[in-house]
Amino acid sequence: MQSIETLILLILLIVACSIFARRLNIIFPVLLTVTGLLLSLIPGFPKLFLDPSIVLLVFLPPILYSAAWNTNWVDFKRNIEPISTLAIGLVIVTTLAIGFVAHAMLPGFTLGMGFLLGAIISPPDAVAATSVFKNIKIPKRIVAILEGESLVNDASALITFQFTLISIFIGSFSLTGAIGQFFMASAGGVGIGCLVGFLSLVMHKRWKMDTAIETALTFITAYGSYVLAEEFHFSGVLSVVAAGLFVGNKQAKVHSAKMRLQSIAVWNFTVVMLQGLIFILIGLQLPFIASGIKDQSIIYLVKMGGIISAAAIFIRFSFVFIMNFLTGKIRAMLKLEPVFPSRKHDFVVAYAGIRGFVSVAAAFSIPLYLQNGSPFPQRNLILFLVFCVIIFTLVFQGLTLPWIIRKLDFTPYITTKKEANFILAALSQAALEHIENLITRENIDTEAAQHVKDIYARTIKQYSKFNTDDEIEQRKISRWLMVEAVKAKRKKLHELRQDEELDHDLFLELQNELDLDEARLLKLKVN
C-alpha cells in the first residue's frame, strides 16, 4: 500500500515539475532530478529501488516505440548517411575513447568497466536537445538528423552495452564473435519488429475495435516486439524501433482519426510519466549511490564526473568535424552537395549531444551481482559518473544551446511560410477535385454540394498567394472570434445540462466535438 501511495506522490510531483518548468523556463529533467534529491533528504521517505532485471523491459519499449512511430520516414531516408555515421560510428568511438579515459583516470577501473561506461553515455537524447530549441529558428535538416541519430544510436548503444555487460560476466571477449552476434541480433530484431508491426496493422485494419482497445494494441505492439525478440536472443531494442517505424509509416492508411487523437494523448502521458519517474529516481538514489562509493570524497567524484563529461563532449565535436570534413571531400569528388552548407551546422550538431533518458535506464539496469554472487564491480561509481554526465550536459549544454543558435543566425536557411501555404493549397485542391468527381459521378446537384465546393475554393484562394500583414491580422481576428464562439457554445451546452434538458451521452458527444473544434483552431497557425 505504501508503494502505491509513493507512486501517486511521484506522479503528482512530475505534474507539478512540468508546470513549474514551463512557467519558470527551467529544463524539465533537471528540475525532476533536483526534486528527487530533495525528497531523498526527507527523514523517513521510502527508499525506492528499481530491479535492474526489469528496467529496460518496463521503460524502453514505450519510449522507443513512440519516438520511432513519430519519426518522419522521408527525412530519415534522406539523411541516412549522416544518421548512420553518428548513430553507429560515433557510438563505437565514444565507447572506446571513454573506456580508455576512465581506465586511465580512475584507480581500479578496468577497461571493461570503462567500455561499459562509454556505451551507456554514448547515445545523446534528441528529445532533450530538440525541446531546448523548439521555439528557435533552426534548419529542419539538423532536427531530422538529431532525431534520426537518437533513434538509431539508442539501439546501437544498448546493443554495445549488452555485449560489454556479457563480456564482464563471462570474463572474456571475442571481437569476431561479438561482430557476428551483433549482426545476427540486429537482423533478427529488425525482422521480428517488422513482423509484429505488420501483424498489428492487419489487426487494426481487419478487426473492428473500440478506440480504447486499438490504443491498447499499440502498447501490446511495443512491448510484444521487445519481449518476442529478447525471447529469441535478438535485439529487443531494434525490434521496437523497427515496429515503430513500420507502423508509423503505414498508420495513416489504417488508423482512424479518432484512434490517432486518443492514442496521441495516451502515449504523450505515458512517455512523460516514464521519463519523469526515471529522472526523479536519479535524485532519489544519488545520495545512496555516492555513499556506497568507498574511499573517495564527493569532490573527487564530481571532478571525475566533470572530466568524463568534458571528454564525451570533446569526442563528439572531434568526430562530427572530422567526419564531415572527410565526407565533404568525398562528396565534392563525386560532385554531390555537402550534407551541411556551413561549419555552423556542424557546430550545432556537435553541441547538441545532451545525454538523457536511455543512458539513465541503461545505468539502472546494471545487475547488482555477478554470476558467482559477488557484487558487480564499480556499479555505484558507474551510476554516479553517468548521472554527472547527464546533469552536466543538460545544464551546461541545455542552457547555452539556445543562445549559441541565436548567435549563429540560421535565418537565411529557414523554410519560409510560403511552403506551408503551398501545401495547404495543394491539399485543398485535391479535396476540391475529389468532391467535383463525386458530384459528377453521383449526379449531385444540390445547394449543399455547391456550399462545400465554395468552402474549398475560398481556401485555395486564401493559400495560393502571399498574405499581406493586413490579411494576416484579419485572419487572426477571425480565428479569435471562432474560438470565442466555441466557448460560448460550450457555456450554453453546460447550462442545458444543468437544467437537465440534455441526455448525458449526447452531452459527451457534443462536448467532444466542441473540444476538437477548439483544439484545431488553437493549433492552427496564421501565416
pLDDT digits (tens, 9 = 90+) for 413-470: 545 555 667 777 788 888 888 888 888 887 777 777 787 888 878 777 776 665 556 6
Name, in order, each residue with C-beta under 8 angstroms of 307's C-beta and a sequence gap of 6 or more.
101, 105
Same domain, 247 and 314: yes
| Average pLDDT score over residue span 74-85 | 88
Condensed to tens digits (0 to 9), the pLDDT of residues 374-412 reads 889 899 999 999 999 998 998 888 888 888 888 887 765
Condensed to tens digits (0 to 9), the pLDDT of residues 140-182 reads 888 888 888 888 888 889 888 988 888 888 776 666 666 777 7
Provide the residue range defining the domain that includes 443: 424-466
- What's residue 526's pLDDT? 42
Instruction: Give a yes or no: residue 23 inside a domain.
Output: no
| Average pLDDT score over residue span 244-262 | 80
Least confident of 220-229, 312-321, 342-351: 342-351
Domain boundary among 370, 393, 413: 413
Instruction: Give a yes or no: residue 168 inside a domain.
Output: yes
Same domain, 363 and 460: no
Condensed to tens digits (0 to 9), the pLDDT of residues 91-149 reads 999 999 999 999 999 988 989 899 999 999 999 886 666 666 666 677 888 888 888 88
In degrees and rounded to multiples of 5, residue 271 shows phi and psi of -65, -45
Instruction: Give a yes or no: residue 325 inside a domain.
Output: yes
pLDDT bucket at 472, cuts 50 / 70 / 90: low
CATH code at position 189: 1.20.1530.20
Same domain, 456 and 474: no
Q: What percent of the chain has pLDDT over 90?
A: 28
Same domain, 210 and 242: yes
pLDDT at 236 over 80: yes
Say what the alpha-carbon torsion angle 36, 38, 41, 43 is, to the nearest 10 degrees: -90
Q: What percent of the chain has pLDDT over 70?
A: 89
- Alpha-carbon Rg for the chain, nearest whole angstrom, is 26
Comparing 257 with 34, the larger pLDDT belongs to: 34
Same domain, 472 and 350: no
Instruction: Give a yes or no: residue 67 inside a domain.
Output: yes
Same domain, 521 and 449: no
Which residue pairs, CB below 8 angstroms and at least 24 apart, start in 340-344?
340/141, 340/142, 341/413, 344/408, 344/410
Count of structural domains within the chain: 3
Whole-prediction pTM? 0.81
Same domain, 433 and 500: no
The single-letter DSSP state of residue 375 is: B
Contact assessment for residue 115 and residue 99, using Cβ atoms and an 8 Å cutoff: yes
Comparing 201 with 446, the larger pLDDT belongs to: 201
Same domain, 214 and 340: yes
Same domain, 384 and 453: no
Instruction: Give a yes or no: residue 43 inside a domain.
Output: no
- Residue 155's nearest CA partner among 219, 225, 220, 250 is 225
Instruction: Give a yes or no: residue 395 inside a domain.
Output: yes
From CA 128, how far away is CA 399, in angstroms rounded?
Answer: 11
